[in-house]
Amino acid sequence: MTLTATTDLEVAELLRAEEEFQASTLRLIPSENYVSPAVLAASGSVLQNKYSEGYPGRRYYEGNQIVDRVERLAAERATRLFGVDHANVQPYSGSPANLAIYLAFAEPGDTILGMGLPMGGHLTHGWDVSATGRWFRGIRYGVGQDGRIDLDQVRDLALAERPKIIFCGGTAIPRTIDFAAFGEIARECGALLAADISHIAGLVVGGVHPSPVGHAPVIMTTTHKTLRGPRGAMLLCDADRAKAIDRAVFPGLQGGPHDHTTAAIAVALGEAARPEFADYARAVVDNAKALADRLLELGYDLVSGGTDTHLILIDLTTTGIGGKPAAKALDRAGIVANYNTVPFDTRKPFDPSGVRIGTPAVTTRGLGTADMITIADWIDRVIRTGDEERVRGEVAELMAAHPAPGLPA
């Protein structure tokens, strides 16, 4: 059954409006995507009606015969797809999944090394305002003047500070992450390396970004970004750490898992195991490179000078235009992006110099490299000449020709 005017007029109207908004706009938020109708169906299924604290075969509730099979299936698909010993598919989302890593392998007050938030890291890698920065001693590494992760700095900090855990991965990293180098540093200083591949999990599965497996004994990923699943997360690890991870997720941090999400994760992992998904991942990166190349031609500065991944960080410092007014102008033109700090930002964090864009969602809608030229030109027209209204019309026209999965055409 779908939500209609007779069941709840107010919410039905809001959902209809959101569908129309998503259908007609161009989404360049690098952490967003469109899930398939099958993923949508699983997450809107009768598994909403369950409680299943515990793990398959070891539940605190009766009536989980089928739920056990759903969770085992999701975990099996995850271990096979990523090539790991163990997968915990219960974390509610990426932030609580990272918290489980702390709970499993560190004590409050321990030193944690992570990428600084303004450099492209995530809040949960020990940043001040996060619980992880308040309850642990967060030390931060960043990028060099070339915009690439400064591995010498990572090594120096690791050897000087002897962190319990080193996090690699982040939210605004346009370049390939050298998991092997991080693994070596972690071994040298006796830290646990946790790879947070939330942004790039789909690229890893699709074979267009190296895998952290073999370098990071613990891996966290959200399931809703390039992996194109429901909102949720997974923890992947070697056999030695399976028990500690499971205990940290439940009963350490969470109660009942969201079984509807588990089913949807299973569906998404099934989709990601198909050969077409590797084509998708390749197209995401090809599109990002085409978009970056055109922006460079148009005279824009990009952090690190380009991209190896799905993500581009435009540095507007030399244009004198703030990232926030630029992102708001793009939004009015139907191009959804977000303002972001750039490394060594000269502006304030709430009004930074960068705009962060990415290609996972537009690639899911079937746009190709020729369309990326068009998109770069639109971005330029909006930012430099304020041509919002005409661009809005052209965006709507292109998007109408490329319906998204799960949205009414």
Ligand X SMILES: *Cc1c(COP(=O)(O)O)cnc(C)c1O
Q: How far apart are CA 373 and CA 292, in angstroms?
A: 9
Region binding ligand X by CB under 6 A among candidate stretches 168-176, 182-190, 293-301, 330-338: 168-176
Q: How far apart are CA 137 and CA 130, in angstroms?
A: 11
Does residue 338 bind ligand X (CB under 6 A)? no
Q: Smallest distance from the beta carbon of 199 to ligand X, in angstroms?
A: 5
Of the candidates 25, 31, 90, 132, which one interacts with ligand X according to CB under 6 A?
Answer: 31
- Residues 111-140: x/- map of binding to ligand X (CB under 6 A)? -----------x-x----------------
Q: Is 222 a catalytic residue?
A: yes
Region binding ligand X by CB under 6 A among candidate stretches 39-47, 93-101, 178-186, 274-282: 93-101
Q: Has 117 been labeled as part of a binding site?
A: yes
Cis before 343 (ω within 30): no
Region binding ligand X by CB under 6 A among candidate stretches 48-56, 92-100, 368-376, 396-404: 92-100
Q: Is 231 a catalytic residue?
A: yes
Q: Smallest distance from the beta carbon of 241 to ligand X, in angstroms?
A: 19
Region binding ligand X by CB under 6 A among candidate stretches 52-60, 89-97, 210-218, 283-291: 89-97
Q: How far apart are CA 43 and CA 324, in angstroms?
A: 34
Q: Is 53 a catalytic residue?
A: yes
Q: Has 311 been labeled as part of a binding site?
A: no
Q: Which amino acid is at 349?
A: P
Q: How far apart are CA 71 and CA 73, in angstroms?
A: 5
Residue nearest to ligand X according to CB distances in the complex: 94
Residue from 206, 161, 207 nearest 185 by CA: 161
Interacting positions 212-231 with ligand X (CB under 6 A) = 222
Q: One of 196, 308, 315, 371 is an active-site residue; which one?
A: 196
Q: How far apart are CA 128 and CA 330, in angstroms?
A: 31
Q: Taking the CA atoms of the chain, what radius of gyration do you get in angstroms?
A: 21
Residue from 255, 252, 258, 191 nearest 218 by CA: 191
What tokens appear for 348 in the block? 């304030």
Q: Smallest distance from the beta carbon of 311 to ligand X, in angstroms?
A: 10
Q: Is 51 a catalytic residue?
A: yes
Q: Which residues of 14-42 are buried (b: 16+ CB within 10 A; e: fewer)?
A: eeeeeeeebbbbbbbebbbbbbbeebbeb
What tokens appear for 153 in the block? 């700095």
Does residue 170 bind ligand X (CB under 6 A)? yes
- Residues 181-210: x/- map of binding to ligand X (CB under 6 A)? ---------------x-xx-----------
Sequence-distant (6+) residues with CB within 8 A of 151 are: 178, 181, 182, 185
Q: Has 122 been labeled as part of a binding site?
A: yes
Annotated binding site: 117, 121-123
Applying CB under 6 A, the residues found at the interface with ligand X are 31, 93-95, 98, 122, 124, 169-171, 196, 198-199, 222
Output the known binding site for (6S)-5,6,7,8-tetrahydrofolate: 117, 121-123
Q: Return the active site residues.
A: 51, 53, 196, 222, 225, 231
